[in-house]
Amino acid sequence: MKQIEKLVTNKFSKLRIAVVGDVMLDSYLCGSVERISPEAPVPVVSIDKKEDRPGGAANVALNLKSLGATPILFSVIGRDETGKKLLNLLTNSGIDTSNIITSKSRITTSKTRVLSKNHQMIRFDEEIQTSISDREADSLYAFIAKQFQSNKFDAVIIEDYNKGVLTESLIEVLMTLFHKKNIPVLVDPKKNNFFSFDGATVFKPNLREAREALGKNFGTSLKELNEVHHEFKKKLFHHYTLITLGDKGSYINNGETGNIIPAQVRNVSDVSGAGDTVIAVMAACIASGANAFDAAFLSNLAGGIVCEKPGVVSIEKNKLLSELKK
């Protein structure tokens, strides 16, 4: 544990990590339910607080920033009021937004959650899921390639929410670029491009995504999860498999052996954004030279911590260190 503590305290602050993928705005309408509407049998939520937070790949960047690392965020958003809000939030959090392209032909993805006493009542999504244009993809690649020519990066996180930023052709050229630079690449995949990330360092689906991708309702025994790793390996030729298992913890395979890391017993408030925290911590650990099992242990711990708070939140470095010492 002392070795992991040293990584967090001494090495994370020296890291530069690129984050590529779908960003979004998470909005919250918070209040309480005290009556049922006379118009229809639905609860009436009396709103007393409104809040906006960066989500998706932007939340991954925030988690890296909270850990002390320097995130460099690449994405495409709409040229709209939602996009302006998101850019302002990122700027105010100390994250550079100069590599985020604004598009006239798209809207910025937003998720609006209505909460009553920290319990989610309903969610409204506004988004375009079609792929960005070839011209926008070329521009985004040019932004990324330019940064990689002039700057040193310790790792790359590819955050795919299937909102259109990561096209199949863009993924292919990006993976080629990152391999040439010999940089660790951590992938959080979604359904559309699930098996497009050949040669990734860490492949991190959650349990539901892994089951859907393979078309199997497999269990969470070590034997079954090891078999899943080998099936993924045949398609992706990647190094490590990290599968988040919800309240059962995480599964990690370092290419030679697998292990299940149990979840800590916690008062779970909201699992939203936990995957963003897991991959951010995993990337920081791998970039710092940690082995796969230590990295997965710390990632699993961090993911559990953020579930104790409502909404999408980033991990607090001091809280993570405190929990680690326990």
Q: Is 91 left (phi over 0), alpha (psi -120 to 50) or beta?
A: alpha
Is pLDDT at 29 greater than 70 in this prediction?
yes
| Amino acid, res. 318 | N
pLDDT digits (tens, 9 = 90+) for 109-165: 999 999 998 788 999 999 999 999 999 999 999 999 999 999 899 999 999 999 999
Q: What string of H, E and C letters represents the secondary structure of 229-258?
A: HHHHHHHHCCCEEEEECHHHCEEEECCCCE
Contact between 161 and 21 (Cβ < 8 Å): yes
Global model pTM greater than 0.75: yes
Please tell me the predicted confidence (pLDDT) of residue 320.
Answer: 84
Q: Which fold has domain 2-24+55-74+128-325?
A: UDP-N-acetylmuramoyl-L-alanine:D-glutamate ligase (3.40.1190)
Domain ranges (residues) in the chain = 2-24+55-74+128-325
Please state whether beta strands 16-21 and 119-126 pair in parallel, antiparallel, or not at all (unpaired).
unpaired
Q: Count CA within 13 A, CB hemisphere, residue 55.
A: 23
pLDDT class of 6 with cuts at 50, 70, 90: confident
Instruction: Show the tokens assigned to 224.
Output: 């079954």
Catalytic residues: 276
Amino acid at site 281:
V
Task: Read off the pLDDT of residues 67-115 as tens digits, 9 standing for 90 and up.
Answer: 999 999 999 999 999 999 999 999 999 999 999 999 999 999 999 999 9
pLDDT, residue 194, reads 96
What is d(CA 319, CA 297) in angstroms, rounded to the nearest whole number?
Answer: 15
